[in-house]
Amino acid sequence: MWKLALLPHMGTGMAVSRFRSAYGSIRRIHASGTLKEPKLNSVPAEKTRNIGIIAHIDAGKTTTTERMLYYSGKTQRIGNVDQGDTVTDYLPSERERGITIQLAAISIPWNGHKINIIDTPGHADFTFEVTRSLRVLDGAVTILDAVAGVEAQTEKVWRQANALGIPRIAYVNKMDRPGAGFSRTVKEIVAKLQTRVVCLNLPYFETENGDFARFDVLHKKLLLWDAHDVLGKTLRAIDLNPSDPKLAPLYEMVLQSRESMIETLGELDEAVIEEFFERDEDYMAVSTSTLNKAIQAATIASKVTPVLCGLSFRNLGVQPLMDAVVAYLASPLQIGLPDITSSAAKKLGRRKKALPAEEVAVPMKMDSKRGLVINNSANLTVPSRSRS
């Protein structure tokens, strides 16, 4: 049961801490010798992001989370799902099957911000784990397989997030697989998930050295990852110059994507369309700061979904995703507190006389086969409730 009774009376600090305490069984990860503990307690609420990683099974949720931990400095190595040594999947059954069964929560630092992450299961049998985590989220990253596109579990969780008004970012993963299609996946997002999209980057593979590249649509740059850097830390940014014969075709691709972005944002934010006309209707001249503000406002209002792409298993493209989480998803101060509904509370509200509060301590333990076990054999005296 969610412990949300105090949420309507919370202050700012408690609104942030609800992520950590709202559900007692969410696991806080402290793997001995694996994690570093940067000082995150001093991060203010406006620089905090409470997010969930949601997707269909095998889309790459835990793999992406592992890279986030590594690039943020939280871990010193990258865990592998197939080898059973990931941080957030630590139960024996999870490591044996290579899937997430229970929720796992962990905090990481990134660019002066704190990102609280909930890694959720993707299998349909564990949908309840995802459902009960959504209420404490201020945002979510939806990961999609570039080959499979929008799958059944993705649609189901997306509808639940819609009902709660949770802002989302879409991340198209596994772009290197045969049959991967970024444009096709984006069209499925629009058609099946019924949302407007803005593509923040585009994939590009045809480089001379075999490097993986992406177009940064906002900054009009070509981002190159070194193919020989297995950890994906070496990143080069090249300005797209239309006068360069080699870069001119790439410039045109970014121009088309910028046109679509500005047309979408212009319908939602007057500042974008005003600057567009002030710049003589030049799509490439609209400033990055104006577009960033418009994207953040539209994302928090759930009117648009930013889309990125990458190859998490090859350690490529995760850092821009983390940048997008900080830039576009809401802080606890921007999203507000979740609504609370409880049938038990409604019944109590109809009573003429309030009942006294009572607490009973019950011994519990975690059994390796049976899960959480409550010791009912203890000599417990439960006070009788007077209905007079």
For residue 113, is pLDDT > 90? yes
User: For the chain, what is the mean pLDDT?
Assistant: 77
Residue 374, strand partner residues:
364
Region 263-280: mean pLDDT is 94
CA distance 209 to 226: 8
| Main-chain dihedrals φ then ψ at residue 169, nearest 5 degrees | -120, 140
Residue 350 within a domain: no
pLDDT in tens, 226-241: 767 777 777 788 888 8
Instruction: Give the largest Cα separation in the chain, rounded.
Output: 87
Residue with the bigger pLDDT between 86 and 9: it is: 86
**48 in a domain, yes or no?**
yes
In a domain, 111, yes or no: yes
pLDDT band at 134 (very low <50, low <70, confident <90, very high): confident
d(CA 36, CA 69): 10
Query: What CATH number is associated with residue 156?
Result: 3.40.50.300
pLDDT at 104 over 70: yes
312 lies in some domain: yes
Is residue 74 included in any domain, yes or no?
A: yes
User: Tokens 């596109």 belong to which residue?
Assistant: 149
Q: Tell me, yes or no, whether 360 lies in a domain.
A: no
User: Higher pLDDT residue, 236 or 326?
Assistant: 326
DSSP letter string over 189-223? HHHHH---EEESEEEE---TT--EEEEETTTTEEE
pLDDT value at position 239? 87
The owner of tokens 């080959």 is 147
384 domain residue, yes or no: no
Contact 134, 166 (CB under 8 A): yes
Q: How many domains does the chain have?
A: 1
Band of pLDDT at residue 32, cut at 50, 70 and 90 = very low
Is 261 part of any domain? yes
- What is the arithmetic mean of pLDDT over 233-257? 84
Give the pLDDT of residue 78.
Answer: 87
Question: What are the E-state strand segments in the chain?
Answer: 27-28, 48-55, 104-110, 113-119, 139-145, 168-173, 197-199, 201-204, 212-216, 221-225, 235-239, 305-309, 364-367, 371-374
Helices (H), 279-340: 288-300, 318-328, 332-335
Confidence check: pLDDT of 382 > 60: no
The distance of Cα 363 from the centroid of its chain, to the nearest Å, equals 35
The residues that bridge with 373 in the sheet, in sequence order, are 365
| Full residue range of the structural domain in which residue 198 is found | 7-344
Bigger pLDDT: 90 vs 29: 90
What pLDDT band is residue 200 in, cutting at 50, 70 and 90? very high
